[in-house]
Amino acid sequence: MYGLKKDWAMEKRPRVCVLEDYVGREARWCPGCGDHAVLSSVQRLARDLQLPPEKTVVVSGIGCSSRFPHYMKTYGFHGLHGRAIPVACGIRSRRPDLDIFVVTGDGDCCAIGTAHWIHAIRYNMNITVLLLDNNIYGLTKAQTSPTTKRTERSNTHPRGSFFVSLNPISVTLGIDNASFVAQTVDWNPPHLYETIKAAHEHKGTSFVRILQRCPHYTSHIFAEAQRDSSLMLLMRHPEGINVPDAVAKTFKNQVEHDPSNLNEGREIASQSNGVYPIGLFYKNPQAERYDDFTSYGLDMGPSAKIEAVNEALDRFMV
């Protein structure tokens, strides 16, 4: 164009993603479901960190929370019941360039998916696991889940569950090579957001249990804690989950906890005084990562791969 500098005319503007770039289909969860808050936090986080939508993946299994990939305008995989984590590990092994989130429920992860959950913590591949725990099987209409509290009634235990509920945090802290274990609640958006952000920034398997309200079946479970902050214990430390002072002041009970102290983290997680601890229980950035090994050979060309396969097969020649 006459009168315009060529270098100006060809200048490439930096890409900036807005919130709408991460918002997929309209979420069809029940009004008041805690899943909405988690979805909003992940979408905001993706925007704030400018995660490329085409390089972001959300993987889920089966359950109410597992509809998550449909509501993110990114790549997604809606998998089989309990199988979200191994799918995510498979993606990570061959695509180290992607940001990977796993969204799972207490039934999906802690029942049929238990073995995958345990071994994923051992493998410590770079994925962010969000366990949305509402203490019930919601999608299949109110059956007892592994985290359902004793005496709570359900369709499978109409007179009340007689099992002691599973504590996902205590279990995870007992697995060798755990590297990031945290807990938060859906009804405190600042703490929820900062927890997911810290989990994503950690290099390794970040396991975040989110205490999540189900307005239809377990609305009473966390109702009192939602009204009374003294029923929660805020763990604070410079290396932990950092929330604004105005948010921290709303918690009556606080404790200074160094997330490098595994034994203390286990003690806090196992307390049974009716108070929900939230924050970072444990972090070990030096834990070994299996994806450091599975990424081997990604830079090899087709001929080099064929040669390597032939060399491996030659070892078995008789």
What backbone torsions phi and psi does residue 78 show, to the nearest 5 degrees?
Answer: -95, 100
Domain count, the chain: 1
- pLDDT value at position 7? 57
Residue 37 in domain: yes
Which uninterrupted H or E stretch holds 10? none
Rounded Cα distance, 45 and 132, in Å: 17
**Residue 226 near residue 187 (C-beta atoms within 8 A):** yes
CA triple 129-134-136, angle to 5 deg: 115
Rounded Cα distance, 287 and 179, in Å: 6
226 DSSP 8-state letter:
H
- pLDDT value at position 5? 58
Residue 8 in domain: no
**Residue 66 near residue 103 (C-beta atoms within 8 A):** yes
In our burial notation (b when 16+ CB lie closer than 10 A, e otherwise), range 143-177 reads bbbbbbeeebebeebeeebeeebbbbbebbbebee
Question: 3-state SS of the chain: helix, strand, coil percent to 5?
Answer: 35, 15, 45
- pLDDT value at position 200? 98
Contacts of 43-47 with C-beta under 8 Å, sequence gap 24+, read 43/19, 43/72, 44/19, 44/193, 45/193, 45/196, 45/197, 45/200, 46/17, 46/22, 46/72, 46/74, 46/99, 47/17, 47/18, 47/19, 47/21, 47/22
- pLDDT value at position 6? 56
- pLDDT value at position 126? 98
Q: List 99's β-bridge partners, or say none.
A: 56
Tens digits of pLDDT across the chain (318 residues): 555 555 555 677 888 999 999 999 999 999 999 999 999 999 999 999 999 999 999 999 999 999 999 999 999 999 999 999 999 999 999 999 999 999 999 999 999 999 999 999 999 999 999 999 999 999 988 899 999 999 999 889 999 898 899 999 999 999 999 999 999 999 999 999 999 999 999 999 999 999 999 999 998 999 999 999 899 999 999 999 999 999 999 999 999 999 999 999 999 999 878 899 999 999 999 999 999 988 878 888 889 889 988 998 999 887
Residue 156 in domain: yes
Residue 307 in domain: no
- pLDDT value at position 294? 87
- pLDDT value at position 163? 87
* DSSP-based three-state secondary structure for 245: helix
Rounded Cα distance, 16 and 227, in Å: 39
- pLDDT value at position 3? 56
- Of 179, 207, 202, whose CA–CA distance to 116 is shortest? 207
Which uninterrupted H or E stretch holds 180? strand 180-185
Residue 299 in domain: no
Residue 54: give the domain boundaries.
Answer: 13-289
Cα torsion angle, 89, 119, 67, 79, sign? positive
Residue 109 in domain: yes
Q: What is the CATH number of the domain that holds 88?
A: 3.40.50.970
- pLDDT value at position 308? 86
- pLDDT value at position 2? 54
Residue 173 in domain: yes
Residue 196 in domain: yes
CB atoms within 10 A of CB 286: 8
Q: List 127's β-bridge partners, or say none.
A: none
HSE, CB side, 13 Å, CA atoms: give it for residue 72: 35
**Between the CA of residue 160 and those of 94, 134, 138, 156, 225, what are the distances in Å?**
46, 17, 17, 9, 22
Rounded Cα distance, 92 and 9, in Å: 40
* DSSP-based three-state secondary structure for 56: strand
